[in-house]
Structure 1
Amino acid sequence: MQKNIQNNLITWYNKNHRHFPWRETKNPYYIWISEIMLQQTTTEAVIPYYTRFIETFDTIDKLAKASLEDVYKLWEGLGYYRRAKHIHETAQFICENFHGQFPATYKDILNLKGIGPYTAGAICSIAYGMSTPAIDGNVLRIISRLYALTDNIALTKTQKKISQIVSELLIGYDASSFNQGLMDLGATICRPLNPQCQNCPIAAFCKAKEIGQQKVLPISIKNIKHKELNYITGIITYQDQYLMIQNPAGLLENLYGFIQYELESPYRFMEEFEKQYHLPLSLVSYHGQVKHVFTHRTWHMHIYHFTLSHPYNTMYHLEDISQIPVSTAHLKVLKHYLKQK
């Protein structure tokens, strides 16, 4: 067999690939769900969520007919909940426009809500065998090293350049194995720090290794603004019930959580709450601070316990809370409170 990048990588992948449940199928719907779940989440964390999700919604039609709250409940703890909302809306769109069958062209797949070029390329190559590149962080890093590219891979123009390189490498080869081979290579060998070049099936072709720059490349400098936010987060109770509200549009949309205000004092919290809900609060105790980190912001939640003299219409017993989709941030708050109580 001719020794080149493609053959070496595909042969290595076929012998050494990681085993995941979504790799046991060519069903584009299942592959789509796995790819959306894998965004910003580790493969180990995704496996149980993926398994439960597919067991519950084994067809697009079942997903489309489910309530959004049921979808959120299965997603609870996985984070980035807008992904769940998008797949629910997309399932409904597919049922309305494609008779419940997942579309089979790159253009149609790319036009689906919540799907970008990487996800569309992954689905097309893995499910349908199309020669479409699937460019994620692993691929950007590998190609940057392979060709000793000194361009910043955080820039769109560099990503387009790398996409063109991969498109040319795919011509005439098994796109599914090649793309997944790049994914596995980046996850296990060509890692961000201390790449294991001695185990790499394409090290002989790597220009960065040849010039001793494999620990320097890629150049990846992102301009990210990160916000630090401080909240008074209220555990508001009436007898053994907890007041929780469903979040409006935006971050953590439709998930349940405690009321919190970006204020400097629990007494200001009480004033703001009474102004909004027309109910007085009694301040009971302080229960420390919980931190939750999102991609571009960090919440510092200062937890205070308040009580109501009358129940409100969205109050839940602890066993009820376990049945509704609650944000991970506020599950942390509840666990912390119960531990401190």
Structure 2
Amino acid sequence: MQNNMQHKLITWYQENHRHFPWRENENPYNIWISEIMLQQTTTEAVIPYFKRFMETFDTIDKLANASLEEVYKLWEGLGYYRRAKHIHETAQIIVEKYHGEFPNTYEDILALKGIGPYTAGAICSIAYHQSTPAIDGNVLRIISRVYLLKDNIALNKTQKKITDIVKELLIGYDSSAFNQGLMDLGATICRPINPQCDICPIQSHCLAYAKNQQKVLPINIKNIKHQEIHYTTGIITYQNQILLIQNPAGLLENLYGFIQYDIESPYRFVEEFEKQFHIPLSIVAHIDDLKHVFTHRTWYMHVYHFIINVPIEHLYTLDEIEKLPLSTAHLKVLKAYLKSREF
């Protein structure tokens, strides 16, 4: 038993695991928040956000009773703001349906908003020590290499095959240590590029290593259409105030940002603005050209400074803006504008 892959991986994890604030206890609430934050975000970037978030909302009840704007403000800079909205909604569901206690079955956890199979599996295995797989990119890569799977891991059928393999591997073992061991192994040793096979604790079980295919696998070919959009983005000021609008449903929902139009000229921007707001607009200067990459689209923002001569709704001072949740893309715009004022 002590020579099998599970035992070697668990022993390695217990001796070498990475230390994170969300690993200090097995509280399902902490694990849930950390796993949602870690989606599309590095562990190093998440740590300060996680600490601030948990200091402010140390219970699910506090999170549920907060305003969405408060949650967004603490999320500011992490991106993918729909995650924050789902966290807020899910906290309210947990308070209403489960009296503030995090549910403890895979099915109930999976039914919560914003929680998929990986996150549900991670919570069940780490918080409740249930034998549930937690299949993320690290696990797909490791199992693909260990079992010399030449199937495309971007396909659902391959992911199901790997899930079934991990289910079998978990039987009779500490699911928390095993699943987290896979996470840490993938992050530190069995990396996508140049895996460190010479120090891998399960090297002797890896068929890809035996066949010298560890730098080929996994096969991960995604067919994703990426959209590029060019905006003219307007920093519109009135005296010492800046015009910001709150985004409607969709991308960057409920976050604040600058007005921008999918047009090619600041003079067209003036026309569109006057058509929408019925207020004259004057061009002051070109500020910068900025780029912001989302998962499936890229924004190219051609930023100009405009002024209006009469006050309207949604004007904010810089002190007021500091309290508003801005999208990361438009934080770049604000910083470019403030930098231009230094000269």
Report the TM range for the smaller structure's normalisation. Answer: over 0.9
Matched, 1:266 2:260: no
Could you tell me which residue of structure 2 aligns to residue 118 of structure 1? 118
Could you tell me which residue of structure 1 aligns to residue 285 of structure 2? 285
Could you tell me which residue of structure 2 aligns to residue 315 of structure 1? 315
Paired with 2:292 and 2:312, the residues of 1 have a C-alpha distance of 27
Deviations 1:229-256 (A, max 9, x none): 1000000000110000000001111000
Paired with 1:232 and 1:211, the residues of 2 have a C-alpha distance of 53
Could you tell me which residue of structure 2 aligns to residue 32 of structure 1? 32
Could you tell me which residue of structure 2 aligns to residue 78 of structure 1? 78
Letter in 2 for 1:165: I
Could you tell me which residue of structure 1 aligns to residue 217 of structure 2? 217
Paired with 1:319 and 1:99, the residues of 2 have a C-alpha distance of 38
What is the DSSP-based 3-state SS (H/G/I as helix, E as strand, rest coil) of the residue aligned with 2:237?
strand
TM-score scaled to structure 1, two decimals?
0.99
Displacement after TM superposition at 1:2 (Å): 2.1
Could you tell me which residue of structure 1 aligns to residue 303 of structure 2? 303
Paired with 2:288 and 2:80, the residues of 1 have a C-alpha distance of 26
Pairs aligned (count): 341
Paired with 1:94 and 1:319, the residues of 2 have a C-alpha distance of 35
Deviations 1:248-292 (A, max 9, x none): 001111000000000011111111111111211011111120111
Deviations 1:288-338 (A, max 9, x none): 201111111110000111100101110111111111101111010111111
Q: Equivalent residues in 2 for 1:11-90 (5 A)?
A: 11-90=11-90
Paired with 2:295 and 2:2, the residues of 1 have a C-alpha distance of 44
Could you tell me which residue of structure 2 aligns to residue 149 of structure 1? 149
> What root-mean-square deviation, in Å, do the aligned CA atoms of Structure 1 and Structure 2 show?
0.7
Aligned-residue sequence identity (percent) comes to: 75
Could you tell me which residue of structure 2 aligns to residue 96 of structure 1? 96
Deviations 1:193-233 (A, max 9, x none): 11000110000000000011001000000001111110000
Letter in 1 for 2:293: V
Paired with 2:324 and 2:336, the residues of 1 have a C-alpha distance of 19
Letter in 1 for 2:250: G
Matched, 1:232 2:253: no
Structure 1 gap segments, 5+ residues each: none
Paired with 2:187 and 2:280, the residues of 1 have a C-alpha distance of 54
Deviations 1:71-100 (A, max 9, x none): 000000011000000000000011111111
What is the DSSP-based 3-state SS (H/G/I as helix, E as strand, rest coil) of the residue aligned with 1:115?
coil
Deviations 1:75-127 (A, max 9, x none): 00011000000000000011111111100000000000000000000000000
Structure 2 gap segments, 5+ residues each: none
Paired with 1:285 and 1:47, the residues of 2 have a C-alpha distance of 39
Matched, 1:175 2:181: no
Could you tell me which residue of structure 1 aligns to residue 131 of structure 2? 131
Paired with 1:288 and 1:178, the residues of 2 have a C-alpha distance of 49
Paired with 2:74 and 2:112, the residues of 1 have a C-alpha distance of 22
Paired with 2:220 and 2:156, the residues of 1 have a C-alpha distance of 12
Displacement after TM superposition at 1:339 (Å): 1.1
Paired with 2:311 and 2:160, the residues of 1 have a C-alpha distance of 57
Letter in 1 for 2:297: R
What is the DSSP-based 3-state SS (H/G/I as helix, E as strand, rest coil) of the residue aligned with 2:230?
strand
Could you tell me which residue of structure 1 aligns to residue 338 of structure 2? 338
